Amino acid sequence: DFAYDEALAQGVRFVREIPDDPIWVRGDFDALERLTTNLLRNAVQHSPAGSKVILGATLAPRTVRFWVRDQGPGLTPEQSARLFQRFSRAHEGPGTPLSGSTGLGLYYVRLVAEKHGGAAGVTSHPGEGAMFWVELPRQA
């Protein structure tokens, strides 16, 4: 997987905080797999060498929230507000690590989450990393 290869190259390690019991959601497997890859790649791209990216899940009676937490630079409220829009990037400009980014990864995450009856968002503060999440209905 490309996200895993990127993490290895940067010295970033993945940590899993997911319940042991199976989590079932109904949806397009390929789209949900790409959504997850986009979240992981985004976290790796914003993480310093030697840090960790945590993939977790939180269960509620009718929903499941999947989240990815990084140890990157964090986001301002203004950056957070625009991240899920098409062609948006948090850290833009020449010489930034993501200057070649299309700005479509998190836009895709939001579209897929909404297509599945869910939502996507981010919780972050400058200097404290970011936690991107996707909340989806659980399969009964």
Identify the pLDDT of residue 39: 95
Domain range for 127: 2-137
Cα separation values, 72 from 94, 116, 126, Å: 19, 29, 9
Residue for token pair 């829009």: 85
pLDDT in tens, 115-129: 999 999 999 999 999
Q: What is the pTM of this model?
A: 0.84
Helices (H) and strands (E) in the chain, counts: 4, 5
pLDDT at 72 over 70: yes
Number of domains in the chain: 1
CATH for 36:
3.30.565.10
Taking phi over 0 as left and psi of -120 to 50 as alpha, with beta for the rest, 87 belongs to left
The band of 89, judged by pLDDT with boundaries at 50, 70 and 90, is low
pLDDT at 95 over 50: no
